[in-house]
Chains A and B, each alone.
Chain A
Amino acid sequence: MQLSGEYFSFEELCYATEMSSQTVIDIIDHGIVEPVGSDPDSWRFSMQMVSISKKAYRLHRDLEIDWSGIALAISLLEELDQLRDENRHLRKRLERFLGD
């Protein structure tokens, strides 16, 4: 089983996420994902960005939230994830430190 390349082009992202190029541009314009590269032809998207784009699209579709709302939700969800991770991590450290 061969792993495919690490990055998606603009076209590949549209195809993989089944979003129109305009939707992807909306997502980029709102800073939800920030591809490497200056113009659509040279844009490169990481796997992380592919998954964020999909999540953004699902939230937009299922909850009828506009893109600026999505941008806010995504950044808050990311922050929540980080804080949960950090909390789990610190709890574990504390346990090791206080436990026998």
Chain B
Amino acid sequence: MDFKDYYKILSVEPDADSKAIKTAYRKLARKYHPDVSEHHEAEEKFKEVTEAYEVLKDPEKRAQYDELRRYGGQVPPQGWQQGGFSGTQAGRQSSHQFDGDFSDFFNSIFGGFSQSGGGSGERRSGSQQGFYSEAGFSQKGDDIETDMPIFLEDTLTNTSKKISYNLPHRDGQGRVSTVTKTLNVKIPAGVSDGERIRLKGQGGQGIGNAPAGDLYLRIRLVPHPLFDVEAHNLIITVPLAPWEAALGTSLELPTLNGKIKLTIPPNSQTGQRLRIKGKGLVRKDGHGDLYAVLKVVMPAATSAESKKHWQELAASNAFDPRKEWRK
């Protein structure tokens, strides 16, 4: 168990007054709040900062912590709280006790429950401020929110997906550990990015007689190598040789469910969009469309013969691509 330097975590001096500590905490809490921050460790950082503030804002806890710090930051041995230190006894009697979200280090000093491991990507929500203090308390289980990656192909029909997620599990003594749960979830056709699906009662277990929390799945459409999503429409870029753009052609176009024949009209232009009706994503009231966006590309190398053809074209063509500049 590592010693936690709460002063360092809040970037304050060990003799900082309570006002400075509060200001530092507020600044860091805003910076790392998981609902605001894009930082990849936002949740961990936020917890750390909250824990540091929980100790340093309370003169009694701060004094206890400072004493420990003076002893060279040795993590207290078993039974330390009972060993004559004034102040709080083991956690349950203190009036406000976080439900296991603080570190083992914190719990070893101030009592409480240890929580092993941590969710990967899941965010516990709802009852985090659900302090509990006495036996017999009952509280609804935590809601769990987690991302559910879905391939575009899978949104076309109703589908079934396996999902694994971590849940806090509380044993009879109130100790919290993490268990992994796996479910088969029916995903209805036509789900969209960011949509939420609620699975009732599949969240954390309730305390006492209270029911379990819910599981919220946030649909995340997995980026596709060929198709981009725009609402319910799909976009595919179609590379064309200059002569195909000039003369028109017919090609096989991939769609989400098989290939179709696409006719490119003569005199096509880069950026031009061709609409293929009904080949987009599934909507509640039908299908979106597929847009083929044309992109004229030059061959990497030109043979002597090709060069001759280009030269003939150049000599016989009055086309001025920079007409706009001469206005």
Contact = CB atoms under 8 A, between A and B. Distances in A.
B129 interface: yes
B125 A62 contact: no
A22 interface: no
Contact of A61 (B129, B184, B228, B237): B129
Contact of B188 (A3, A64, A100): A3
Contacts of A89: 228, 230
B128 to A, nearest CB: 8
Interface string B105-147: 0000000000000000000011111100000000010010100
Interface residues of A, number: 28
Contact of A1 (B183, B195, B297): B183
Interface string A63-93: 1100000000100010000000000010011
A18 B126 contact: yes
Contacts of A4: 198-200
A77 B35 contact: yes
Contacts of A93: 228, 235
A17 B293 CA distance: 45
Given A1-B186, A92-B223, A93-B235, A47 B29 contact: no
B232 interface: no
Nearest to A100: B297
20 contacts: A1-B186, A3-B188, A3-B197, A3-B198, A16-B126, A17-B126, A47-B198, A55-B35, A58-B33, A58-B35, A58-B125, A59-B33, A59-B36, A61-B129, A62-B33, A63-B29, A63-B33, A64-B26, A73-B36, A92-B228
